[in-house]
Structure 1
Amino acid sequence: MNLDIAQQCIPSCFSDTYLEARNKFLQAAPASQAYMCSAKGPSGEDLFTDVAYFGPANAERLLVLVSATHGAEGYTGSAAQLLFLGAKFHETLAPSTAVLIVHALNCYGFSWDRRVTAEGVDLNRNFVDFAEPLPQNPGYEELAEHLVPADLSEESVCRADAALVAYQKTHGELAFNLAYAGGQYSRPGGMFYGGNTPTEARRTLEQIVSDFDVDRREQVVILDYHTGLGPYGYGELQCELSSGRAGYERAQKMFGASVTSPVIGNSSQVSIPGTMDEYWQRLLGDRHTYVGPEFGTYPRRNGWLAQRKDLWLFKYQPEAVESELGRQIRKGVKWHYYPQADDWKEMVLWRSHQVHRQAVEALALFA
């Protein structure tokens, strides 16, 4: 795909709302199966995760495309999925190969322009085994009140920021990033909260996996689209800690040396518990290869500030969600995770097309 074609695809692939994205997806995949969410959208509308399947029902090899694990990042994931369908990759699959497209897994977050689920949970920290002791993050406990202060007055924010800077100077950048973004299970309403039980979105994915017999496949490649980390417009191909070095090496064989992993130390993400890949690892072991295409947007601090305001709004001022202040805060989250510039969109589409082609070609080699 050259950049001229990528530019032409922008209007058909990208959307400005969850409802627009859903309508485009249903037009491209009219036989999709809908999974209704119990939460409603900002105007009281029903919300759905839609799933399209192409290929033999009993295909041994399966490509899974997931959008909106983090809701506000769904604009990009949806665009990539529409690009896949527009390029007709699903019509040229090798024998005994199929594709499963999960559109708007966290449809609540997509609709409300939030990263989290309706329960206020970071879905990509929610796939832990809740029958086991939950991961501990003592660094977060020390920083919790500063990460999401009870009020956003100038005095309060300055005091909180000073405490965060002091922690980073004392403990170092890595320790700060692990404390801040490494996931926590003790502070509902806080940053990167992994929950205390499986969320509805997680249960929806588990139901989809059961309905489409994903655990019976011999080889499964998962692309789980994300945004917000790394250089502007660059699509980093992230593996997760749960797959270990073996998962990283499988992904590298398919997608090349641009694949990263916290195991290797070349990822823009820190090691985190409860990722979606942790679920795939439990389910499929070395029969799966997970990659999270991560498209960079703006500096990490911008995202942190946008999340802080969003979490403050829904925790301390829920009655103001539909006020002018609330809409501005939600717009800030959307802006960080979904840049509205055509140059960024072109970069996303070009990289997504490349990764789709690589995934389809890799699965064909198993035939």
Structure 2
Amino acid sequence: MEALYFPRLSLPGMAWTYPNLLFFDRIRTIAPNGVNLETLFDGPTRSLIAEGMVEPLDPTPYIRDDQGDTQALSYFLGAASSQRRRNKKQRMARIHIGKLTYMALTQELIRAGLLRECLHGPNEDRDWLEGQHWVIQHLMSLIAARVLANHQQMPLITDENEAKINLVGSRHSSLTSAKRRLLAVQRLLPIGPDVNIADIVSFRRRNATSLAEFRQLVTELSLRSAEGERGEVDFERRLQAVEQHRRELVRSIQEIQSGRPAITIAISAASIIAPVLEQSPYSVAAGFAGFAYVLWNESANHRRQRQIMRDRLVYAALAQHEFAPRDVDELLR
């Protein structure tokens, strides 16, 4: 299962990225083809690309839409007029010109003064266009929507509220299923800051079946609520219940893993072997009784572990057990 990230080239910080890497097989990021990765992505994103967990997606085959460009230009011109009336100073942002190839809209925005070449920096800046932040944000939202129209099974993910608003259309709109899914992923898959990419790759490989079950659960959790304020309250209530169940699973996993180690069974077996060598039947009987309890306890633990592993939340529980930042009490033990 892949997801498409926007609006920036590089992914956000690890607190946002790692949970999504545990959930999605791969994250695609919108980037022009044939460009040196060193000039486009930050170090962490380049590392993820090298590991195959992030892959650039060239938008040029999907962004040509002359009729759509005409409608988009009308919107940009109207929004620019509104921005001028407010006389509000806007911060500037940049977009790589490779993303805008074959869009007639690009030249129109340059003619309108909403985009311009970056000529004040190093030579590679000639490959970039700059404009007010809202212009770049809306352009990236437009590109993402056109890419998504050709990849309808690919969820669109972002960490920026303004980018969400550009697509949804209202700052006060209710939670969509996509937002709910993203929120559930981040809440149910907390990861500590010291985790490395190899750990995540290994964990996903070991728990591929559980991940598939977990994805189904998250999808159901995201879709089941009604829309509107009541739906948001209902979703939050059910998400909290799922989090509580995950915490209970984590505690069960910890209890099982801290159960009788192999050395305990070895000692119990030794208590039987010694009386046998001494030919003492009463001691042997007592030893067998004690050993039977140890074996029964181990069997009960295995039954409990099998039950846990069938739970659709076990993937999140295992991830939290393995990757979550340790609390203060745990650090002081």
Both proteins in one fold, TM over 0.5: no
TM-score (norm 2): 0.22
More strand by share: 1
Please tell me whether Structure 1 or Structure 2 has the larger radius of gyration of its CA atoms: 2
Higher relative contact order (CA closer than 8 Å, sequence separation 6+): 1
More helix by share: 2
TM-score (norm 1): 0.20
